[in-house]
Structure 1
Amino acid sequence: MTKEPSLAYFGPGNPTTEEEALELVEANVRTYGHVAVDCETISIKDKTCIGVGYSCREHRVYLSVESDYFDRALELAANPHVLKIYHNAMFDLIVLHMVGQRYGVVLPDWHNIDDTSIMAQVQGLPANLAELTALTLAREIKEISDILPERSTMLDVAFEITAHKCADDIKATEDIYFKMGGPEWRDRTNPHDWQPIQSTQFGIDMSMPSNLHVSTRIKDCYEVDRVLLPILDRMGGRGVALRQDKLEAWYSKLSRERMAYRDACSKEGFNPGSPQQVGYMLAVRGNILPFTRSRKQLVTDNEHLRDLDDPLAHMVLAYRRMDKLLGTYIKPCLEMEAGRFFSYYRLDLATGRLASSDRNFQNIPPEVRNIFQPDSGIFSAADASQIEMRVWAHISQDPIMLRAFADGEDIHAVTQQALWPGSDPEDKAARRLAKNFNFAVIGDASAKTLSTDNHLPVKQCTEYKEAWLARYPVGAKYIRRRAEERGPWSETEFGRRMRLPDPVTRGEKHVSNCRQNYPLQGTAADIIKKAMLTVNKWVYEQAPGTVKLLMQVHDELVFEIKTECVEQYTTEICQLMSDAA
């Protein structure tokens, strides 16, 4: 029986053995001091490694995990003296870390690395490797969807196809790195320029400048994200302990409530889990709902059901909420190994905000967060209060809002009195509406959107929006000025460029809203990430085991602190976060 190949070589050399092929790459790495790295996994969700590829100048190799030289090849990614170039380093390094732990081999180096995906994002360029390759190198490479049959994994793809795909990806990554002036990115005191290769073969992007300027501020943003990678890995890999008793209690409670709602709907003659049956039953009861694009059934998403007065619609919403909590959070947590909740952080959002996947920490509803427990001590959260409103006040330079923050006023209370003079400051409904209007209007939401989101008449929302703009007149001018801007990206106050959506596919109104919101979200994200770096350094200066940075949830950092240190540490943490901006 012929042995399946486990190493593929690409380049001008003529190696006769797998060892010789690997040695060609290793020799170049010793000469040039860098190597581009890419991992192949079973799927995006299943991060089990099936192979790894390396490129250095003219030599490239791809090794499957079955190769006799796989462990030796991993030493390239572990060598702290070699610069490793990745595209989406967070993914590849997590995979390599898992390989090291699983097979008891060397772990990857997280520090002497560069990431072309992050470089692209901070310049407002597409992070997708195939798109970026076409845009900057005028070259075509395949995407996973081009080689992966539907409902298949990479285990179903022939070795030769996987090897070619990986070889093309690592070569593109290496070439993009040097095209963008890779080595100059570490010099944060001097800007540099680079020129993408544009070809009519791939379509000329008229919004793309012929010369791209990488400012020192862009380099600073890149460095923050790059240095943050090992911190994010440590937080995700550490996980958080789960309380089995609370999980079981929630499972029992939600299961009973879901069954009660399901039984109530069944008595009315429909299944609440079937959108088609929900639409039919609500229509029979006289509710007006739009058709889906296919015209085959009615739209029954949560947004439309919330607008209905029918108690049956709210029963369906309650059922869906119970089902979501059970299926997305409680049941998976009960099945987690070692009684811990693990998640992986990502840096691939357009605004630079952090996201997490594989059980998203950030989306767990507050009411079920008691399923977590500290390993020792207690949980403590430091929240950057109203950070996006504060950022907007700074960017717009609206004097009324700036003064309110400087005087320690609650900006939502200020807005509440502007829209509803004399209303009770303790009125929770009025405060909620004021808060909704604050966040919506700074994003230039229309009166129709305000009406839909707040369940108020359009005319009334028009009047409230006009009152809001009159209360913050300088801010109103800023909103109008921002709406008139053009170009493919927006910028944060720290200089990060954020690529805007394509107006052809997403519509001009959506792009205009993003143009208003991206600078707020992106600047807030920059501040939080800078705070994480500062706080992480502080954590390692404290007595071992007294404090851990556990997770980042939107605008707050969550810690585990020894009980006797809580008062002192929380004061210091709050000061560090305040100084981050």
Structure 2
Amino acid sequence: MDKIATLTFRGAKTLAAKLQQNKELAYLSYQLATIKTDVKLDITCDELQITPPDVDKLHQLLSRYEFKRWLVELESGNWLSDKKDQPTVKINQSSSTENHALVTTPRVTHQLSQENYQTILDTQTLSAWIDRLSQADLFAFDTETDGLDILGANLIGLSFAIAAGEAAYLPLAHDYLGAPDQLDRDQVLNMLKPLLENEQVRKVGQNLKFDKSILANYDIDLKGITFDTMLESYILDSTDRHDMDSLAERYLHHKTITFEDIAGKGKKQLTFNQIALEQAVPYAAEDADVTLQLHWILWPQLQQSNALMRVFQDIEMPLLAVLSRIERTGVLIDPSILAEHSKELTIRLADLETQAHLLAGESFNLASPKQLQVILYEKQKLPIRKKTPRGAPSTDEEVLAELALDYPLPKVLLEYRGLAKLKTTYTDKLPLMINPLSGRIHTSYHQAVTVTGRLSSRDPNLQNIPIRNEEGRRIRQAFIAAPDYRILAADYSQIELRIMAHLSQDPGLLNAFAAGKDIHCATAAEVFAVPLDNVTFDQRRSAKAINFGLIYGMSAFGLARQLGITRAKAQKYMDLYFERYPGVMDYMERTRKQAAEQGYVTTLEGRRLYLPDIQSRHVMRRKAAEREAINAPMQGSAADIIKRAMIKIDTWLQQETELRVQMIMQVHDELVFEIDERDLDEVQPKIRALMEEQSIQLRVPLQVDIGVGDNWDQAH
């Protein structure tokens, strides 16, 4: 027992007893934790010398085991000699197969300190650059503006790059004291318009959706958008950061000039028109230069996978222009509806605050976590479910929801928080966001934010407007149609469950969807062993919670909390579910194993969803990654399906110019349109057909529910 004794605390009798009972495991643990120093090697220390790298062998190994960042460094030449003429491995871009032939090309230098940046201040220089850009196989392009509002921002300048370290900045509206004469903006844009609208002249940029929207304000329809480095990075690994500064540091080992470096911070921050050209030129030209060099590194990585290239070329890049049009169109809202709603929320919040004070026995600030901690845990002695990183009892929404099952004060606090968020985020704020130029609100859709491929929206965030309660639906009532127009909402019905049926190939789920059954009633009939016609409302509600809970990795504890039942009963429901639908369990186990082995899962289109914590030693993180692995293929596939639908519908609308219809929103699995009443009969069936038309043949049919109304709530 000497070895075991070294692992125990003296006098700890209970631990010693446990070790005695698990003697064999203890010895095994000791053996595994011991560094073995007597291994026979076929090589001596003297032979372990640094030698020139075997580039071909390195490339094979790094590709095989998917060390992506090391592979990037290898291909960029950073593992080789510092000689500029040293060859490096590059991917043959003309190859269309999954495994590309290796060719050697001159090493791309990433030393941006030797750049040749030019300032364009006369028409002769501009004409020369236009000629060079027109003849280039590809050029990088960027706009500089005095703000981020796509409708209200002014174009201050443009930058171009055609080779590493060779870029130019074209200032148009710098108006600081002492600024040099600049070319007339209208004249310049007339000269650039044929180039920028030429589909055959390929362009690359970083977040080109913004540049396309800005140029549209000047009657320029930017075409030839072939690559976007933000989207290239996003498709390679959605868990990374995709802003240009981060990409430059990660792939080029270069720290870029940031906007704050030249404009300052806070209230005194300058707008770009106030920046002196001595600072503006290096900043703007570097943007184009870095973008071009990033593309040369990112694009070969995408070419290693046909599936990733399809996602990039067939989904994300075409969607860029679609989103630009949706954002610029905007949504009409009625501020009077929101104002009335806000008044009612104010009254309700005051009532809830009074209730909370009565339940607590004293007044306190409901928005103060510290005061809540004192009230809930020190004075009311409620059980501590979770702690903050600093060790304090948590008062977050998840904890309050759990406590609300048994205690009245947390329930009141939850309702108060929800209504306060609606008021500050929507009823108070939306009227202030109406654009004076359009009379509408214009959200910004982000393609490179979520891990799964879903779009996110900001300013305002349309994704978070609740639809399951009356207050959230009332906010949707303020989203209205223009006179003589109607709102049409087209929603994929239970798309993630249908994808689950496809992926799991479970006969029960496949048959239920094929027969057009209500899937929640069908599940309830199976789980509770009752005829389909005899399923009660509560049974269907429970089955719905199970169906959606399982695809999000919900545990028996989570299901019990949601349904208000015991954990044992919830576990029984889940066991019955898996008995009736064994294919679902097989899919979940298969997916966990696949994710652990390769570090990612894929959507039906081949989009990769990486899981950094899938092999974490931290149990909670690993379990969370496993839940994400199960859900991500469904959520990501649903995202790919609706993105393809948006592209198809937009293509149709661009061709049918006589139709008075506009796509105005995308929220989760729903597309929202504003349609002239006279075109409804023609447009409605076409939208349904295009959305249900599948690019990948599912084993179950897609179903689209369509509603029409004077506002979004009526149509949903």
TM more than 0.5:
yes
The equivalent of 2:637 in structure 1 is 523
Q: Secondary structure at the match of 1:474?
A: helix
The equivalent of 2:399 in structure 1 is 304
The equivalent of 1:207 in structure 2 is none
Determine whether 1:579 maps to 2:685.
no
What is the distance in 1 between the residues matched to 2:330 and 2:315? 23
The equivalent of 1:213 in structure 2 is 304
The equivalent of 2:462 in structure 1 is 361
- What pairs up with 1:491-570 in 2 under 5 angstroms? 491-501=602-612, 507-540=621-654, 542=656, 544-570=658-684
Query: Cα offset for 1:555?
Result: 0.7
Unpaired segments of 5 or more residues in structure 2? 1-112, 175-181, 468-472, 696-716
Query: For each residue in 1:141-177, what CA deviation from the matched residue of structure 2 results, as whole angstroms up to 9, or x when unmatched?
Result: 3485994877578638975566545444422321232
The equivalent of 1:177 in structure 2 is 295
What is the distance in 2 between the residues matched to 1:452 and 1:154? 49
**Aligned match for 1:475, one of 559, 575, 584:** 584
Query: For each residue in 1:57-96, what CA deviation from the matched residue of structure 2 results, as whole angstroms up to 9, or x when unmatched?
Result: 14212455534248366665861223221122223433x2
Determine whether 1:54 maps to 2:179.
no
Q: Check 1:324–1:444 CA distance in 2 against 1; reply closer, same or farther (3 A cut).
A: closer
Query: Cα offset for 1:351?
Result: 2.1
**Aligned match for 2:369, one of 255, 275, 279:** 275
- What pairs up with 1:285-434 in 2 under 5 angstroms? 285-289=380-384, 290-295=386-391, 297-308=392-403, 309-335=406-432, 336-338=434-436, 339-348=439-448, 349-366=450-467, 367=473, 368-375=475-482, 376-422=484-530, 427-434=536-543
Q: Check 1:350–1:73 CA distance in 2 against 1; reply closer, same or farther (3 A cut).
A: farther
State whether residues 55 and 61 of structure 1, in contact with CA within 8 Å, keep that contact through their aligned partners in structure 2.
Answer: yes
Query: Cα offset for 1:217?
Result: 6.5
What is the distance in 1 between the residues matched to 2:356 and 2:678? 52
What is the distance in 1 between the residues matched to 2:424 and 2:582? 47
What is the distance in 2 between the residues matched to 1:227 and 1:247? 35
The equivalent of 2:331 in structure 1 is 240
Q: Which moved more, 1:21-30 or 1:529-538?
A: 21-30
Q: Check 1:324–1:53 CA distance in 2 against 1; reply closer, same or farther (3 A cut).
A: same
Q: Check 1:225–1:212 CA distance in 2 against 1; reply closer, same or farther (3 A cut).
A: closer
The equivalent of 2:220 in structure 1 is 107
The equivalent of 1:461 in structure 2 is 570
What is the distance in 2 between the residues matched to 1:536 and 1:177? 27
**Aligned match for 2:232, one of 119, 124, 127:** 119
State whether residues 117 and 169 of structure 2, in contact with CA within 8 Å, keep that contact through their aligned partners in structure 1.
Answer: no
State whether residues 118 and 222 of structure 1, in contact with CA within 8 Å, keep that contact through their aligned partners in structure 2.
Answer: no
Query: Cα offset for 1:456?
Result: 4.0
Compute the TM-score of the two structures, normalised by the length of structure 1.
0.81
What is the distance in 2 between the residues matched to 1:550 and 1:358? 15
Q: Check 1:144–1:108 CA distance in 2 against 1; reply closer, same or farther (3 A cut).
A: farther
The equivalent of 2:319 in structure 1 is 228
Q: Check 1:553–1:499 CA distance in 2 against 1; reply closer, same or farther (3 A cut).
A: same
Aligned residue-pair number: 538
What is the distance in 1 between the residues matched to 2:308 and 2:137? 27
State whether residues 36 and 54 of structure 1, in contact with CA within 8 Å, keep that contact through their aligned partners in structure 2.
Answer: yes
Q: Secondary structure at the match of 2:344?
A: helix
Question: What is the letter of the counterpart of residue 32 of structure 1?
Answer: A
Q: Check 1:176–1:354 CA distance in 2 against 1; reply closer, same or farther (3 A cut).
A: same
Query: For each residue in 1:449-499, what CA deviation from the matched residue of structure 2 results, as whole angstroms up to 9, or x when unmatched?
Result: 444554544333333222222221122112111101232432211222233
Question: What is the letter of the counterpart of residue 140 of structure 2?
Answer: A
Query: Cα offset for 1:33?
Result: 4.5
- What pairs up with 1:46-195 in 2 under 5 angstroms? 48=153, 52-57=158-163, 58-63=165-170, 66-67=173-174, 68-69=182-183, 71=185, 76=192, 79-81=196-198, 82-94=201-213, 96-97=214-215, 101=217, 105-107=218-220, 109-124=222-237, 126=240, 127-133=242-248, 137-142=251-256, 144=258, 147=261, 151=266, 155=270, 163-181=281-299, 194=300
Q: Secondary structure at the match of 2:604?
A: coil
What is the distance in 2 between the residues matched to 1:350 and 1:254? 34
Q: Secondary structure at the match of 1:350?
A: coil
Q: Secondary structure at the match of 1:240?
A: coil
What is the distance in 2 between the residues matched to 1:16 and 1:561? 45
What is the distance in 1 between the residues matched to 2:149 and 2:610? 26
State whether residues 221 and 495 of structure 1, in contact with CA within 8 Å, keep that contact through their aligned partners in structure 2.
Answer: no
State whether residues 446 and 455 of structure 2, in contact with CA within 8 Å, keep that contact through their aligned partners in structure 1.
Answer: yes
Question: What is the letter of the counterpart of residue 344 of structure 1?
Answer: S
What is the distance in 2 between the residues matched to 1:413 and 1:347? 36
State whether residues 276 and 298 of structure 1, in contact with CA within 8 Å, keep that contact through their aligned partners in structure 2.
Answer: no
What is the distance in 2 between the residues matched to 1:499 and 1:76? 41
What is the distance in 1 between the residues matched to 2:681 and 2:120? 66
Q: Which moved more, 1:302-311 or 1:220-229?
A: 220-229
Q: Secondary structure at the match of 1:552?
A: strand
Question: What is the letter of the counterpart of residue 490 of structure 2?
Answer: A
The equivalent of 2:136 in structure 1 is 32
RMSD: 3.5
State whether residues 342 and 423 of structure 2, in contact with CA within 8 Å, keep that contact through their aligned partners in structure 1.
Answer: yes
What is the distance in 1 between the residues matched to 2:409 and 2:117? 71
The equivalent of 2:37 in structure 1 is none
Q: Secondary structure at the match of 2:521?
A: helix
State whether residues 115 and 226 of structure 1, in contact with CA within 8 Å, keep that contact through their aligned partners in structure 2.
Answer: yes
Name the % identity.
Answer: 27
Question: What is the letter of the counterpart of residue 604 of structure 2?
Answer: E
Instruction: Give the greater-gyration-radius structure (CA).
Output: 2
What is the distance in 1 between the residues matched to 2:534 and 2:478? 34
Query: For each residue in 1:31-64, what CA deviation from the matched residue of structure 2 results, as whole angstroms up to 9, or x when unmatched?
Result: 3153212345678789956654321114212455
Query: For each residue in 1:190-217, what CA deviation from the matched residue of structure 2 results, as whole angstroms up to 9, or x when unmatched?
Result: xxxx3x6xxxxxxxxxxxxxx9613167
Question: What is the letter of the counterpart of residue 444 of structure 2?
Answer: Y
What is the distance in 2 between the residues matched to 1:257 and 1:141? 51
What is the distance in 2 between the residues matched to 1:115 and 1:291? 42
State whether residues 660 and 679 of structure 2, in contact with CA within 8 Å, keep that contact through their aligned partners in structure 1.
Answer: yes
Q: Check 1:578–1:232 CA distance in 2 against 1; reply closer, same or farther (3 A cut).
A: same
Query: For each residue in 1:345-384, what CA deviation from the matched residue of structure 2 results, as whole angstroms up to 9, or x when unmatched?
Result: 1111322212211102222233120001111322121111
State whether residues 116 and 167 of structure 2, in contact with CA within 8 Å, keep that contact through their aligned partners in structure 1.
Answer: no
